[in-house]
Structure 1
Amino acid sequence: MRQAIVAHSIQKDFNSSEIIDVDTTKGAGKDIWDKLSQQIPVFQLFKTDRNNNDADAEIQDPLKAVTKQTLKGELAGKLDEITGRVEEEAKKQAKLTLDKLNEMDPDLAHQLTPKFSSPKWENVFKFSLDTDTVPLNKRGSGTRRLILLNYFRAQADKQADEEHVTDIIYAFEEPETAQHADHQRMLMQSFSKISQQLGKQVLITTHSPELAGMLNPDGVRQIEHTSEGQTHVNNTPDLMKVAKDVGMLPNIVGLPGRLKMAIFVEGPNDVQFLRVILMNYCPQIFENNDTVLIPVGGGAFQHWLSLQILERLNPVKFYLFDNDEAGSGYARKVENAQGNAKNVYVWSLGPIEFYFPYSYYSRAIESVNHSREVNQDDGAGILTKLATDKFHDADYKKDIEPLKNNLWSDFKRVNVDSEKKKQFLAEFKNDPMINTELQQLSDELCKAYKRD
């Protein structure tokens, strides 16, 4: 039978719009759907419009979502067993009743058919949040949605590696409605944390570029209506076009009021390196899309200070320099320009190449030494490979500078290979000296970012 169905499907050119209805309320269709529904994600929609009733749906909905998620997990089999047992007993009693009725009134008995409806278990459990003052269902929309916001914050704080958690899709319509700007940011951060968990997805609809601008641009979709009257989802929209459609400017780093922090570093390599590191150690400073890394090495740095290029934007300025002669010079210029060394951080080990994982150093020196062995006429000697515990005390000029090009060439793969990035960051965590310093740098950056 299966082979015949497959052969028929291959031969027939099915139209994509062809729909075949299958009754999932009874018989085999119901049995199949009951099993399939346990495997598909829970979908929970939170609407902007609320119902003004005592049930307080806006508050009940998230609590019901927890119930549905729990009941679709490991309890599903037990509930099916309970339902089956009750149905079996009910039908057994119904049959006995009809048998007795048949003795007295056969015509009536033949008109009756036992019918059993499976319960919606999520409706069996009722929750409430009591208050001693004004009842929640009498409070304003903002307060009610604030409770909803904190439901999502609670979800975001749960352990991402929980076992037996059912997949769930949260759909939230216009989360900016009736909320203070600070609450909107907190909500978007919670959404972001939820979406990073395995088996979780968050869909948000909004007309606010401010809200959309808090997310990674890759996560923005545009819903468009075609000239044929169809609805089209554009997965790679032009953000400027999106902003024009809703009549507002997008949240672009660099516009007045949109730049919160500028981190100045010496060169473009530092920008690439730090973006990977800081996104792991202090991601909170990048969550609102208002932090930028700026390379200012060479003679141009003095102009950044004297011309006060970013002064009108009023960002927090943070300076991060190598612990070498050039870096010390930059640090002195900042101190002279602003009268103090506030928000100036100098790496403790030396130039930033000292912060590469030891495996990168090991590959680089092996590659350079191999090249020098092959090209014996270049006059360069074989480099001595340092042990793991000596790497941080290396002589930069003699031991590290000859490997500089190899180190950065190897690092470029980190930005395009997610697996290499994971390994790269894991090695940082396993190096106590570097990990401690990066934690310290992260703390200082966060303190600077949070300034009022």
Structure 2
Amino acid sequence: MARGLYEGTPAGDGTAGEGAEPVEERSMKLRRIEIENFRAFASPLEIEIDDFTAFIGRNDVGKSSILAALTIFLEGDGVKIDQCDGSLHGDRSKVRITCEFDDLPEKIVLDDAYETNLRDEHLLRSNGRLRITKLYDCSKSKISPVIFINAENHPVDESSKSLLPLTIQELRREAEKRQVTLETGEGTIKARIRRAIVERSHAYQFRPIDIPVDKNETRTLWEQILKYLPLCALFVSDRSSSDQDPEAQSPMGVAVEQALVEIEDQLGELAAHVETRVKEVADRTLTKLREMNAELAAELKPQLKEKSIKWKSLFKYTLTSDLEVPMDKRGSGVRRLVLLNFFRAEAERKASVDGHRSIIYAIEEPEASQHPDHQRMLMRALLEISENTGQVLVSTHAPGLAGEVPVDSLRLIDMDASKRRFIRSADIEDPSSFYRDIAEKLGMLPDNLVRVLICVEGANDIRFLRHISHTLHESDRSIPDLSLNPSFAMIPMHGGNLRDVVNLHLFKNFRKPEFHIYDRDDNNTYQEQAKEVNQRGDGSKAVQTSKRTMENYIHPAAVVRIAGYNIEITDDNDVVMCLCGILGKKKSEVKALLSDEVAPAMTVEEIDERDPNREIRGWLQEIGSMARGSERKGFKS
């Protein structure tokens, strides 16, 4: 029999009832969700979840249903399961939502302050994750879940029963039945009895089992797990976006409540003062009434209608601009953006109140009603949230946003001819076919306004060129502003996939001229691909930077202004790694800093000083010329 099957740690000196050290507050992270018989998902659907995950697909393919299923599982606000959630083409009595989590707590307390952990209780999968299933019977009018832990390698007896649901008396009888002698101190702690039975008898084998956690003895286990499950905050797309929306009012309402608590004594004095004055008026009135009808006057006395004064209801707030325009009179994009951040503030408040549990932000269509610039800013902000404070799940049907997020975060939802939904992720080594599928399903280009496809290596290059072109456009109108002009669509090709994009001519069917910009790098990596594009004869063109990378066009003075450090930037040094060492940041963070903050801070003079041959200006002017030529030729998709 295996040794050390239950490595529970006793509190104090190991005596039951001793005070345990505080259990570490560590919130789980969602890594996988499975859905079956839920809405359009009659067949099982399995989805891997990252810190940032973007669901992309056509309208009504099921993106919102995935976010709703997660919210239902985690019992978030705004979505409650009902009979309509059962799949019409599946078994409505067996709606299944399963979630897998990692980043698990190192210790939990199950038995009278006795510390153990999920692994030693054999509750995990072989991958180290905790898998939980909730089953709902949507054929009933009143629906409540049956909850299971799906253990993969758990000790069970010949009847496939676990020891976890047994009371301490039942465990002692089981030990006696299996002829297991309990040592001193073992018989008072359930975890130690379970370990003794499994280690010292041969009756228990390790097998997969679904353990219900809503029974008497396992309910304690579920209560412990609940402390660490993340909160889910769902922001739906079809809300009114008013400042009287519950999400908007809730944070302000909390502020009102806190302020009222601070002046509770003064409010009591105010209420007493008002009551005294009212009583004086009532007494004078009754005195006069007695003169006319003493019997009626004896029956009447002043009484406050509600003993508890609802002070909070007296305070309603609205948000106004500097011009005194209330938020509900502002544009829909502004209202939605403000409301989204109220939503974030309230989610963070709930998490802090609830033991600092982490948050999963589930946001439907963050691009809705937003200007393209705001779309990009919002996506970058959400990516930053996922890197620092919580997980973010978004749904979108805007293919342009696919280029704003890492390719490994994208999940394409599609359906076959029988309307069975399935999900695809990119092959990180070769995501070209994945991007091609997105283009085919959604249309990579939003409309026929696009004249030129600008192909660069990554999303940071896109942001760099947008900012630089905007600055140059302000002083020279012949240079196109890539951040605003709908004639240009910028596509990140993510380094290694660039070869496939070129070799397979993946964007050929769009019938748009392409302008490719590749880093020179140390090894002239993409020289052959540039040559191939230039030999197409379809008006496309490819250039390589004369400097090592895009970051080598940055002016050091702008770095000083933004980051506070003076670094040397030549045509050939590794600017990103240099700043990584100075700032102590990751490579991705430094690249984002340079493209998002330093590049827009550069002046025209600084751009020209770092680019004396006007290389960037030349690219942009060529791109503008290609757009004009494409328009004259009627080069449309």
Instruction: Please indicate the TM-score interval, normalised by the length of the shorter structure.
Output: 0.3 to 0.5
Q: What TM-score do you get using the length of structure 2 for normalisation?
A: 0.30
Higher relative contact order (CA 8 A, sep 6+): 2
Q: What TM-score do you get using the length of structure 1 for normalisation?
A: 0.41
Q: Which has a greater percent of strand?
A: 2
Q: Which has a greater percent of helix?
A: 1
